[in-house]
Structure 1
Amino acid sequence: MSELRASEGARTAMVSASKSLDRRDDLFSRAASALGDVAYRWTITSDLIHWAEGVEQLLGVAKADDVATDEIFSARTVSQKGASRRETIMKSTAIDNGAGVAYELEYQLKDDKGKLRWMEDRGRWFADAEGKPAVAIGVLRSIDERRGRDDRLVRLSTYDELTGLLNRMRLKEALGETLDSAMRGKNTAAFLLLAVDNLTLINDSYGFDVADEVIVGVGQRLRGLARRVDAVGRYSGNKFGLVLRNCSKERLIAVTERLLASVRDQVIQTSRGPVATTVSAGCVSLPAHAQTVEQALSHAEEALTVAKQMHRDSYVMFTPSREREKTRQYNMNVTDELVSALNERRICLAYQPVVSSVTGETMMHECLIRLVQPDGSIAAAGNFVPIAEKLGLIGLLDFRAMELTMETLRANPDVKLSLNVSGRTTSDHMWLDTLVAQLRADRSLASRLIVEITETVALQEIAGSAEFVTTLRDLGCQVAIDDFGAGYTSFRNLKTIEVDLVKIDGSFVQNLVTNQDNQFFVRTLVELAHNFNLPTVAEWVGNEEEVAMLRDFGVEYLQGFFLGEPVLQLPAQRGRSETVRRA
């Protein structure tokens, strides 16, 4: 009797649990339907699936009976993320304590028309009296839109939008993977950096849309010649990168020549018709000539630059150079020293007098930039300015020189100064705006300031130079053309720029007494300047004979070591110091 009562109790509990599941199933179905999803109840022991309303539309099937069992349903599964639903549930090691065990997975199903639909499947399974999965209650949700969005984001993060090739980030990753593999396996690989040669001309002739088509066409050529194991990507605007696995130097040369020929020998069809173009390449053997991604890219850029300097449709194989590395290291050291000097206020000015050719009286001083080294010695501009210009630091030096010049003008009300600016600074609006603000704050400074720009800079951009000069002259400053004669200034250029003073390039003053060509050239320059009522300054004056000859030519002002060397303290301030340091 006791066994009978226990059996009846178990059946009662099972019936109660089943009714509870049915109620929960009904609520779950209605909630899912309200969200546009479809709920289901899968009786695992019989393999039957009971679907809520809307399954036909969600899965793209004619009727629910077409997916009435998990076996039929699973047959439509094409791809999935992880294990199948049956595997996920049946192999679960979790224990159902009455609340069920959650599961979640994603997969693709094929509808009646063969179209694939992404589904998210979430639910809970419930165990029987023996603890084995008996019933699964879940909901299916369409995630086509989400998966499409995720795929687009993945593609954008991996591929270049224009060409469909790998983007720069992924190209660098592929390069790093290939380099690591080559170093571990002790084999060889290679990296090519290729650039479309005449893209600017194509832009100007056909428009940017056609230039984009050319970029796409070149990319297709490169991808068509690459092997499956190689990686092709767009490195930047007109540059492509090609990572070659298991590539000897001999094969690298052959591949590069074939790539160049594939672009050169066949025009690219565009919406405006056929367009001919070529590419140049810089090549690096790995890991022989680069052990890091940064080295590989830098060396490829260096080789490509040399190739483009030769002529179009060229390639250069990178080779190490001890002299080049020494120069690079020297440039890095100078850069560090310049930055430190700027931060530590070790950039200063030296002042060289400019005197009247008639009276010998000092009329002004030119401000020459100097660097005070940690040991107290003085480095002249020639030791660091050319490198600063090459490495893009000249703007910082010009800014500091301007600050020091303005400080000197404020501290010395009777001094007139001239300040050199580089070509880059003439187009630096921040530099000009800062100077303008200081001059407007103290109008008395402008009349004692001359700004010098070199003739070659003035000629490079006449319109920009004229605007720069006009701004300064409107404030009351004077403007001088330095190195006059080096750029062969024409009458028209002098008239357009409207400067106040011309400084004759010192190379024409050197050996003036014995060099008749220089004499003729200086006389011509002086006559040219006087035609515009412009006074002249002769630089690099070295002796008394040159002083006399320049005076006879009509040169108004003279400058050179013979007349006064640059000093770190203005003569007017000598009374405050026992010695004056020469620089």
Structure 2
Amino acid sequence: MDSRTQDARRVGGTLDLNGSEVQPDDLLRGAVTAVGDAAYRWSIEDDRLDWGPAASMLFGISDISAIAAHRDFAARIVLDGPSRYERICLLHESDPGQGVPYELEYQIRDDFGGLRWVEDRGRWYGGADGAPAYAIGVMRAIDERHRREAQLVRLSTYDELTGLLNRVRLKEALSEALIAAQRGRQNSAFLLLAVDNLALINDAFGFDVADEVIVRVGERLSGLARRGDSFGRYAGNKFGIVLNNCSEERLDDVCERLLAEVRDKVVVTARGPVAVTVSAGSIALPGHASSVDQALARAEEALGSAKQRMRNSHVIYAPSRERDKTRLRNINVADELITALNDRRIRIAYQPIVDSHTGETCIHECLVRMERPDGTIVPAGHFVPVAEKLGLIGLLDYRVMELAVATLRERDDVKLSLNISGRTIGDRLWRDTLASHLHAESGFAERLIIEITETVAIHEIEELTDFVASFRELGCQIAIDDFGAGYTSFRNLKTLDVDLVKIDGSFVIDLVNNPDNQFFVRTLVNLAHNFNLPTVAEWVSNDAEVAMLRDFGVEYLQGFHLGEPAMSLPASRVSDPISSTRLRAAPA
């Protein structure tokens, strides 16, 4: 190491690329300049500012001497509240000896009429009396950081698609209105509006046009909002309005005006005009809600009621004891059902399906039951509708399938018919589990009929076609249940390639005395026979109906008159288990 390097190290210096000695102060000054920051020294006593070489570019001020005096620099600062001098020099009364640090942010006017955000960090030092004498600091450009922060604030407040208030901010506005209403300062209301049939617009025009519709509808509705009201996009196709100083008596007029604003003028989109309507649900505050969540839930409920009526409808929430009782009952039944599932107290009742000519049992339908802890058996009507409403029906279907498989394993002399819900059609776990049992156990598939309700056949035809094909390939047979209740097209029956048609029991009730039912059942049977499909009549209640249905050509009968559901199968072997060949045979 040569003597010059040793000298440089001895004084804390270093060498540049040319071998010249660089002092620490020079190194720091070069680093600050390289990153675009501006160092400065401020002589507070004589109001002088000495700037580093990057200041001109940082501030957008071509002649840096224009801000050589602090008063000139301060004249370009945009800062709310106390001045820069006050914030820096009056922060502490005196310098304890190590200087007093400071940090603040503000905007500087450049030579082009713009404003630039800077971060100002430094430390001031006191004179003999400890009062501010001079300061040394660095300024850094923070425009990009402020843009990011502003964008985050906007995203947290406004909806990206419409530019309206987002759900979070709308809930905050609703909370403020509810608190004010509860304190008696004013009545308020909350409206929830939804674009009708947006899915149809998606299908007909595409998602981009649907987004345009949402934006245009939002613009129209926001144009009717009063000053002080809060309007925003609640979710998807839904908008919310917090109406301050609005009584319940005025809600009808307000809703009608909002609906008319959308209904009476078509929405012009990039692909042409689109006729649009909205429906609304509203709730008066504070009378009908004690919390934000309750207000939102009840507005959703009112909106759901409006949508059930027709397009372009509105409903104002009103309390209902009957509805509250129903909800409480649903909650109790749901709790009871979940407990029964966990305790393995879901059972199967077996109801016989008999040959209309011989009276021999051919099939047993598996009907779900719930056993209470005291051993009493609860019929399906008590809990299945609740399970369907609350999304628990899939759990029930899975358990009934397990029980049916166990029965097939225990009794090789029975043929079972298993009902499934529309939700289960798309349940991959249910399908895979049953398929694995059918693969593992020889002869199971040939002794199992899967019943699908007619409403599922109408609405889920594509998914159902795949379901039917996969289980028929395994050897199962497929029946359409409640046939006639939903008027399934026979083209769908042909597409699905089902094996059996079960006539809805409502057409069998009072069959002997009801000519309309007689005509309908006879027509259904004839049409089914044209497709080579055997039929089953449900809810058969007397011998006269048995005779008439037999004369109509119905092959199989089911009802309490022929056998009530039993919690266990008969001990003896069924005499005539129906075969796939027989099911497909044309009627005699």
Give TM-score scaled by structure 1 length: 0.88
2:94/2:132 contact within 8 Å kept? no
Alignment-derived partner of residue 434 in structure 1: 433
Alignment-derived partner of residue 77 in structure 1: 77
User: Which one is further off, 265-274 or 275-284?
Assistant: 265-274
Alignment-derived partner of residue 5 in structure 1: none
Does the C-alpha gap of structure 1 residues 535 and 272 become closer, same or farther in structure 2, counting only changes over 3 Å? closer
Alignment-derived partner of residue 452 in structure 2: 453
Deviations 1:6-62 (A, max 9, x none): xxxxxxxxxxxxxxxxx9876643332132211111111111111010111100001
Give the CA deviation at 1:125: 1.4
2:188/2:286 contact within 8 Å kept? yes
2:93/2:131 contact within 8 Å kept? no
CA–CA distance in structure 1, aligned partners of residues 516 and 147 of structure 2: 77
Q: Which SS does the other structure have where 2:443 is aligned?
A: helix
Does the C-alpha gap of structure 1 residues 549 and 222 become closer, same or farther in structure 2, counting only changes over 3 Å? closer
Alignment-derived partner of residue 63 in structure 1: 63
2:573 equivalent to 1:543: no
Give the CA deviation at 1:492: 2.7
2:271 equivalent to 1:277: no
Structure 1: stretches of 5+ with no match in the other structure: 1-22, 575-583
2:102 equivalent to 1:121: no
Q: Report the residue type matching 2:38 in the other structure.
A: V
1:196/1:238 contact within 8 Å kept? yes
Alignment-derived partner of residue 196 in structure 1: 195
1:37/1:141 contact within 8 Å kept? yes
Alignment-derived partner of residue 307 in structure 1: 306
2:184 equivalent to 1:159: no
2:89/2:124 contact within 8 Å kept? no
Q: Which SS does the other structure have where 1:571 is aligned?
A: coil
Does the C-alpha gap of structure 1 residues 254 and 491 become closer, same or farther in structure 2, counting only changes over 3 Å? closer
Does the C-alpha gap of structure 1 residues 138 and 229 become closer, same or farther in structure 2, counting only changes over 3 Å? same
Q: Which SS does the other structure have where 1:108 is aligned?
A: strand
Q: How does 1:303-452 map to 2 (within 5 A)?
A: 303-452=302-451
Q: Report the residue type matching 2:556 in the other structure.
A: Y
Give the CA deviation at 1:94: 7.1
2:33 equivalent to 1:41: no
Does the C-alpha gap of structure 1 residues 253 and 436 become closer, same or farther in structure 2, counting only changes over 3 Å? same
Deviations 1:508-534 (A, max 9, x none): 333334444434443333333333333
Q: Report the residue type matching 2:427 in the other structure.
A: D
Alignment-derived partner of residue 19 in structure 1: none
Give the CA deviation at 1:421: 0.8
User: Which one is further off, 488-497 or 391-400?
Assistant: 488-497
User: Which one is further off, 64-73 or 111-120?
Assistant: 64-73
Measured on the aligned residues, the alpha-carbon RMSD in Å equals 2.4
User: Which one is further off, 490-499 or 359-368?
Assistant: 490-499
Q: How does 1:280-295 map to 2 (within 5 A)?
A: 280-295=279-294
CA–CA distance in structure 2, aligned partners of residues 98 and 411 of structure 1: 94
1:28/1:39 contact within 8 Å kept? no
Give the CA deviation at 1:226: 1.9
CA–CA distance in structure 1, aligned partners of residues 76 and 445 of structure 2: 85
CA–CA distance in structure 2, aligned partners of residues 251 and 562 of structure 1: 58
2:186/2:244 contact within 8 Å kept? no
Alignment-derived partner of residue 54 in structure 1: 54
Alignment-derived partner of residue 12 in structure 2: none
Deviations 1:181-224 (A, max 9, x none): 22124421111111223534443444332332222222222222
Deviations 1:136-184 (A, max 9, x none): 1110000001110111111111110011111111111111121112212
Give the CA deviation at 1:346: 2.0
Deviations 1:66-85 (A, max 9, x none): 111221111111235x7543
Q: Report the residue type matching 2:48 in the other structure.
A: L
CA–CA distance in structure 2, aligned partners of residues 502 and 233 of structure 1: 51
1:369/1:380 contact within 8 Å kept? yes
Does the C-alpha gap of structure 1 residues 526 and 307 become closer, same or farther in structure 2, counting only changes over 3 Å? closer
1:29/1:38 contact within 8 Å kept? no
CA–CA distance in structure 2, aligned partners of residues 458 and 266 of structure 1: 38
Q: Report the residue type matching 2:284 in the other structure.
A: S
Alignment-derived partner of residue 29 in structure 2: 29
Q: Report the residue type matching 2:435 in the other structure.
A: V
1:79/1:109 contact within 8 Å kept? no
2:193/2:303 contact within 8 Å kept? yes
Alignment-derived partner of residue 183 in structure 1: 182
Alignment-derived partner of residue 481 in structure 1: 480
Structure 2: stretches of 5+ with no match in the other structure: 1-22, 574-588
1:94/1:101 contact within 8 Å kept? no
Q: Which SS does the other structure have where 2:91 is aligned?
A: coil
Aligned residues: 551
CA–CA distance in structure 2, aligned partners of residues 495 and 155 of structure 1: 56
Q: How does 1:99-178 map to 2 (within 5 A)?
A: 99-178=98-177
CA–CA distance in structure 2, aligned partners of residues 386 and 121 of structure 1: 67
1:512/1:518 contact within 8 Å kept? yes
Give TM-score scaled by structure 2 length: 0.88
Does the C-alpha gap of structure 1 residues 34 and 492 become closer, same or farther in structure 2, counting only changes over 3 Å? closer
